[in-house]
Amino acid sequence: MAEHPSPEVAQLLALLDEAFERASWHGPNLRGALRGVSAEEAAWRPAPGRHSIHELCVHAAYWKYAVRRRLTGERRGTFAARGSNWFARPAPDPVLWRADLRRLSEEHKLLRAAVAALSPRDLARVPPGARQGAGRLVRGSAAHDLYHAGQVQLLKRLQRG
């Protein structure tokens, strides 16, 4: 991580952190929305064919990985689970749930480190395999966390009544 990131990079880091784990004005961030969710709650689906909280968690981890990979040029196929985008988590599994929560936090730390290493000039360039500049990818990653935090909150409310 850069000792003193530029103001532009510092702002992106703040956005990532507020969306994932730092206090925000809007309510729970993604990590806060997942806090206290049991494996049984995480596996619940509102209807057949709909995603569970557990699947949303792994999906969010995957996209943190995908953005980091685009920013750093890392090769594909290095995500901890096989597949891409959505990963089936059909039955309550407390061990897998805890491991996937750790994976999400670890992917956030790795993404954060990749962003901290960017220069202001890097933010405008379009990384290989991407259609937007690096800065937009990072902002999108923060928005993605907030979007899924809202979904998690809704799923918790639906199943708890």
Question: Does residue 124 sit within a domain?
Answer: yes
Q: Above 80 in pLDDT, residue 42?
A: yes
- What percent of the chain stands above pLDDT 90? 83
Question: pTM of the predicted model, to two decimals?
Answer: 0.94
**Structural domain containing residue 59:** 7-160
Question: Does residue 2 sit within a domain?
Answer: no
Q: CA quadruple 78, 67, 107, 48: dihedral positive or negative? A: negative
| Per-residue model confidence (pLDDT) at position 91 | 93
User: Residue 56 burial by CB count (10 A; 0-12/13-18/19+): exposed, middle or buried?
Assistant: buried
* Contact of 42 with 53, CB cutoff 8 Å: yes
Question: Does residue 1 sit within a domain?
Answer: no
Summarize the confidence of residues 59-85 as an average pLDDT.
90
- How many domains, the chain? 1
